[in-house]
Every structure is written in C-alpha cells, then in structure tokens.
Structure 1
Amino acid sequence: MFDSLTFIIGKVLVLSNLNIFKFITQKEEARTNNCQTLSLQRGDLLEVPRTLFIHFGIYLGDNKVAHLMPDILPVFTSDKCQIKKVVTNKRLLWGVISKNATIRVDTVEDFAYGSNILVNDMDNTMKRSPLPNEEVARRAEKLIGVIPYSLLWNNCEHFVTYCRYSSPISLQTDKFCEGLKSIVRDQRSVLLATLLGMMSIACLGLAPSTTLPSILVPFALWMAG
C-alpha cells in the first residue's frame, strides 16, 4: 500500500514539473531588466516558466506579445477595457473550468511576469522548420480574440506551434499523456484502486455508488495495462 502511494505521488510530481522556487516573488526591477536585455524580433516564439507549466507567446514587435490565456471574463462582458486588464488567477481558473480563453496582446513585462524568457528555444526540438517571422506574427494577429480552450488539446503551446511551425502540437501535453499512460499500465495502480474501493465500501457501506466504481475502475485499469 505504501509503495503504491509513493509511486502515484512520485508520478504526479513528475507530471506537474513542480518547482517550489517559482513561488518566490521577484522584484519589479528585476522583471524590467530581464526584458530589456532581450533582443527580440517580430515573430519570435517566447516561453516563460510558470509554477506547473511553461507559458508561450508570439512576439509582435513594439514590446507586445500575443498569447493564449484561459479567461472567463469575455463570457460576461464585451468591455475591452475590463478584458484588457491583467488576467487574475480567479479569471484564469474559471476560464480553464469553463473552457473559455482569449488570444490577447500584453506587454513583454506582463507576459513574462517576473520569469526569464527563452527565445525560439523550441526550434531545437521541433522536427519542422519555422515559418518566416513575419508570417508567424501575422498568423498570431489573425487569431486574436475569444476562442475555445482545452487544457490538453487547445492551449497556449498549440497556439504558438501553429503560428510558427504550421502544426498545432503541445510537447507538454504529450509528456503528460505519456506519464499518465505509464501510471495506467503499472499494475500497482490496479492494486491501489482495488484497495481504495474496498475502503470506500467499508466506510460508506455496500451500495451501487460504492460497489460499481470499486469494480469498474480496477477492471478498466487492468484491461488498459
């Protein structure tokens, strides 16, 4: 039981790429200096580390970045002044849950949010050659506005890879799915699901709401493994 719990927790931490040091707030001066030292060209692909993921955007020139952000606010208002404000964590979270997003334009400083910026780093890992920078920027500009959002199938990485490589893919999503697949295939997951099912029956009693999941979940994991 302990080994199974350790295995699951370890996998979750690997999948999320958790980095506790990203919680440390950086000074505004450091943010500005970091962005000022960059030499950016229109159409560059920018990426910045967040707490649990990497965020991507396309540089449009004049210190502006187009990037896809989950956002619930456009569902309730068309006031551009309100929508243009920096997306709060609450707006972002509800955007993820409701599957709503916008491709918006912010300053480089607001996009970076205190993190170091990598420029065109994905060119080293993608099999496709990047499009001309001007074409990349024009593609990004055409997509600005409200769009549907999916954490796995239509996120900020899909947006930038479509613009720069003409192929909307997400390497982060691929890594997550591979990690999830390894968990499903590990037989310890079946054992853990079975034990949790037995515990739920013991605590909540024998009922369809406890018995069916206790049977179906381990069976599904067993068949998928």
Structure 2
Amino acid sequence: MASTTYNAKPEPGDLIEIFRVGYQHWAIYVGDGYVIHLAPPSEHAQAGAYSMMSVLYDKAIVKKEELWSVVGDDKFSINNLLDDKYEPRTFRDIIQEAQSLLGKELPYCVFRGNCEHFVTELRYGKPQSRQVRKAVEIGAGVGLAAMISFAVLAAAAAIFGSKDKEKQTHLAQKRKN
C-alpha cells in the first residue's frame, strides 16, 4: 500500500500529488476515498515508466476512482500548491464542476492541458502546471549553459587558433631565411 509523504487526511477539494517515476500525476480529492483526475490512456498506478508515454496523447478522460487505486504503490501528498497565490474556490463548486466533467474526453497536452492544469483550474479557476514550468526552466537553463559553453569554446579556439597561426607564420618566415 502506498503512503503519504506526511500523515494528513485529504479534505474534499484538496489537490493530490502522486509521485510517479519521472513526473507527478495530479488528482483532486472529492471525499469518501475518491479522487477525480484527467487520465490519458497510459496513466495508471502500475504503469511505471510507461505512463510517461502520456506525452504522446492528445485526449484524456476525466475519471473518478478510489484514491488508493490511482496511487497504487507510489507515494502521494496533499499539495494545495497555489493557496498562497490564489483564493481556492469553495469545495462545493470544485466538486460540482469536477463531477460535471466525469467521463468526458478532453484535449490533453503535457505543456498546456495536463492533469496538473486540470486540478488547478478546478481548485483555483486558473490552469497552471509548476512541473511544466520547472521543466521549461531546466530546459532553458541547459540550453543557456550549452550556448555559453559553445561561446567559451569558440572564443578559446579563436584566441588559441590565432596564436597557432602566428606561430606557423613565424616558423614559415624562419624557414625562408
């Protein structure tokens, strides 16, 4: 059985962060041991690294399932990550909207409309994904580091290359004399 990262009981309207291999899946707790979540076909508790294949899908289904069947053997935590930034909607409004979406096939995009966007829109009225933002920041940082490394190497090649050229010119002149 999975465990929470701390011992707290979710309340209706709480965001549930589930720690999968390589990413986090998100759901919203609706009470009585159930969550509602946006799930592409590859998303399920025992999928392991295969569930990362969700990036290939452009549609996902809104499902209501028992918390423990969604979590599986993974760890999870209650993570109302934007409470300090936005006023949460009433749990009644959250649950009502989540229930109205059950069984619907929605557009899915890992960058613009993933499970985290889905639950933050339900709780705050604002679709956001911190894990996408982190990935973009990391990607930008890696890209920037690569560009800086390339620039440093190019500058070093230019500096040392010109010195080598000077040496070759000097040696060629010596041979002529």
Q: Normalising by structure 2, what TM-score? A: 0.69
Counterpart in the other structure of 1:10: none
Structure with more helix by fraction: 1
Structure 2 contact 55–110 (Cα < 8 Å) conserved: yes
After superposing on structure 2, the runs of 4+ consecutive aligned residues of structure 1 that deviate more than 4 Å are 85-95, 188-191
Output aligned runs, 1:1-225, within 5 Å.
28=1, 31=2, 38-71=8-41, 88=47, 92=51, 95-123=54-82, 126-144=84-102, 145-186=104-145, 187-188=147-148, 190=150
Gaps of 5+ in 2: 155-177
Structure 2 contact 21–48 (Cα < 8 Å) conserved: no
Structure 1 contact 44–58 (Cα < 8 Å) conserved: yes
Letter in 2 for 1:177: V
Structure 1 contact 130–164 (Cα < 8 Å) conserved: yes
The share of aligned pairs that are identical, in percent, is 26
C-alpha distance in 2 between matches for 1:159 and 1:108: 17
Deviation (angstroms), 1:94: 5.7
Letter in 2 for 1:118: S
Q: Which has the larger radius of gyration?
A: 2
How many residues are matched?
A: 149
Gaps of 5+ in 1: 1-27, 73-84, 195-225
Inter-CA distance 90–182: structure 2 relative to 1 (3 Å threshold): closer
C-alpha distance in 2 between matches for 1:165 and 1:108: 21
Inter-CA distance 93–183: structure 2 relative to 1 (3 Å threshold): closer
Deviation (angstroms), 1:120: 3.8
Deviation (angstroms), 1:122: 1.3
Structure 1 contact 57–67 (Cα < 8 Å) conserved: yes
RMSD: 3.0
Deviation (angstroms), 1:98: 3.2
Structure 2 contact 45–70 (Cα < 8 Å) conserved: no
